[in-house]
Amino acid sequence: MQSSPWKVRCATLCFTLLSITGVKLRPVGEEEKMIQLEAVKKSILDRLGLHKPPVITEKIDKDEMLKMFWLYQEKLLELQGNISKEETPERRVHILTPKLERSMKKCDIHGSHSHRYNLIFSRTHTINQQLSVMRAELKLCKDVLHALRSAAANSTSMAMVNIYKVTESSHANGEQNHKLLDSKPIDKDIMTLNVDTAVKQWLASSEKCLRLELVIVLDKPFMSSSKQMGADDALVLEVETQEQAHSKTRRTRSLSTDEDCKKSEKKCCRKSLLVSFEQIGWSDWIVHPSSYEMRFCDGSCPHNYKPASMHAQIKYRMHHINGDTPAPCCVPGSYDPMVLMHYNSERKLVFTVFEDMIVRKCHCA
């Protein structure tokens, strides 16, 4: 189907008018970039207490400029030293759910019945050997404990929950070794079992999986469905970690690339926009740096993805349950400072430190 002569003439006329008036046809995304640049310019001026860029008619001489550059470098070194002193190793809470298997092993002693469950935890991309374990707890949910207390009603002995670490025996018979990690009675709405030792050994090793055995001791049979014990929140391993001191330097070096958005990335990540002070017409009053990389956080925050805190994980669960609570948002987690050497409103060359101008990392909060 051919276009009518009228449509062709109309299109030609529109293009001619745009050319005469100087309006440029920008590709998709260019308009968004212009909006971002305007936001940057306005924010810098506001921070400096300026309504518009100062007009510089006379600049300082070369000797004075050289002296200012030395002072500028000293200021940068001072800031870098402060960051090294003040920066504490990052802490993070990891939530792991096990692959659960009902054990057929029988171990009934003095009329008690033991119900055994094999728990297999696998490493995630955030669990590695560079982490120190600050706390590791296995948590049983309220529904499971309620069922256990019901089964233990009118019992003649105390119902107990034991957690063991399972390792393969060095003997040829293929038996497994069991080391008791914690043992608690079933008498509360919430139960946490301490598994610090096992998790510390696991993270320090190259083992892909952590194997534990949960043993419930009752004086009568306990009928629990595999669906009830195998629910996502029935058994949860909560591990709080902290980066080891020697890994901080390596992390800082790789952080700039690790945080950047990959191609077609939709989850929370860091995006960048190079701002050239020369291109925006500010090179006459901003002496150094000549440009800076504006970074901002963008993307979705699915469950347990870059959580800023335990609060962020709870916030996601509440949002998922009723929708009234806002979902976690992708926001900056830390910043690098930037020192601006510029002329002020009195046309004097000064330094201004922007503590929160360059985004280092993003997380969900």
At 253, which CATH number?
2.10.90.10
Whether 165 and 305 map to the same domain: the answer is no
Q: Which residues contact 249 (CB under 8 A, 6 or more apart)?
A: none
**Which segment of 30-34, 136-140, 356-360, 361-365 scores lowest on mean pLDDT?**
30-34
- Judged against a pLDDT cut of 60, whether residue 5 lies above it is answered with no
Exposure class string for 319-330: b at 16+ Cβ within 10 A, else e: beeeeeeebbbb
Whether 112 and 218 map to the same domain: the answer is yes
Burial of 219 (0-12, 13-18, 19+ CB in 10 A): middle
Rounded mean pLDDT, 42-62: 87
- Residue 227 CA to residue 118 CA, distance in Å, equals 15
Is 5 inside any structural domain?
A: no
Is 129 inside any structural domain?
A: yes
User: Mean pLDDT in the chain?
Assistant: 77
Top pLDDT among 20 and 229 is at: 229
Is the sign of the CA dihedral 62, 65, 67, 73 positive or negative? negative
- Judged against a pLDDT cut of 80, whether residue 169 lies above it is answered with no
| pLDDT of the residue at 9 | 46
Angle at 202 between CA 225 and CA 231, to 5 degrees: 20
Region of 254 please: left (phi>0), alpha (psi -120 to 50) or beta: alpha
Whether 201 and 331 map to the same domain: the answer is no
| pLDDT of the residue at 83 | 60
Whether 46 and 59 map to the same domain: the answer is yes
Is 25 inside any structural domain?
A: no
CA 146 to chain centroid, in Å, comes to 34
Nearest to 291 by CA among 274, 312, 314: 274
Residue 336 token pair: 């690098």
| 191, 140 contact by CB (below 8 A) | yes
Tens-place pLDDT, residues 93-111? 888 888 888 776 655 444 4
| pLDDT of the residue at 320 | 83
- Does residue 302 have a cis bond before it (omega within 30 degrees)? no
Number of domains composing the chain: 2
Q: Which residues contact 323 (CB under 8 A, 6 or more apart)?
A: none
- Residue 161 CA to residue 163 CA, distance in Å, equals 7
Is 50 inside any structural domain?
A: yes
- Residue 9, helix vs strand vs coil: helix
Residue 295 token pair: 């970074």
Whether 224 and 309 map to the same domain: the answer is no
Is 160 inside any structural domain?
A: yes
Structural domain that includes position 118: 91-243
- Judged against a pLDDT cut of 90, whether residue 27 lies above it is answered with no
Whether 209 and 309 map to the same domain: the answer is no
Query: Which residues share a beta bridge with 358?
Result: 336
Alpha-helical segments (H) within 87-123: none
Tens-place pLDDT, residues 80-90? 766 655 555 67
| pLDDT of the residue at 315 | 87
- Residue 164 CA to residue 169 CA, distance in Å, equals 15
| pLDDT of the residue at 121 | 92
The domain boundary, picked from 194, 216, 243, lies at 243
- Residue 144 CA to residue 149 CA, distance in Å, equals 9
The pLDDT-based confidence of 76 (bands split at 50, 70, 90) is: confident
Whether 290 and 253 map to the same domain: the answer is yes
Whether 57 and 116 map to the same domain: the answer is no
**Which segment of 58-67, 116-125, 139-148 scores lowest on mean pLDDT?**
139-148
Whether 85 and 100 map to the same domain: the answer is no
Tens-place pLDDT, residues 208-261? 899 999 988 876 665 554 455 555 567 889 898 887 655 554 554 445 566 888
Q: Is the pTM of this model over 0.75?
A: no
- Residue 272 CA to residue 332 CA, distance in Å, equals 13
**Which segment of 15-29, 46-60, 326-340, 349-363 scores lowest on mean pLDDT?**
15-29
Rounded mean pLDDT, 39-64: 87
Is 16 inside any structural domain?
A: no
Angle at 254 between CA 257 and CA 126, to 5 degrees: 95
Q: Considering the chain, what percentage of its residues have pLDDT values greater than 90?
A: 16
Whether 109 and 187 map to the same domain: the answer is yes
Rounded mean pLDDT, 294-302: 90
Whether 284 and 304 map to the same domain: the answer is yes
The domain boundary, picked from 243, 260, 284, lies at 243
Is 219 inside any structural domain?
A: yes
Whether 100 and 212 map to the same domain: the answer is yes
The pLDDT-based confidence of 279 (bands split at 50, 70, 90) is: confident
Is 26 inside any structural domain?
A: no
Nearest to 259 by CA among 301, 308, 296: 296
| 361, 333 contact by CB (below 8 A) | yes
- Residue 119 CA to residue 116 CA, distance in Å, equals 10
The domain boundary, picked from 183, 209, 243, lies at 243
Q: Which residues contact 52 (CB under 8 A, 6 or more apart)?
A: 45
**Amino acid in the structure at residue 206:** S
| pLDDT of the residue at 232 | 54
Cβ-based neighbour number of residue 24 at 10 Å: 7
| pLDDT of the residue at 198 | 93
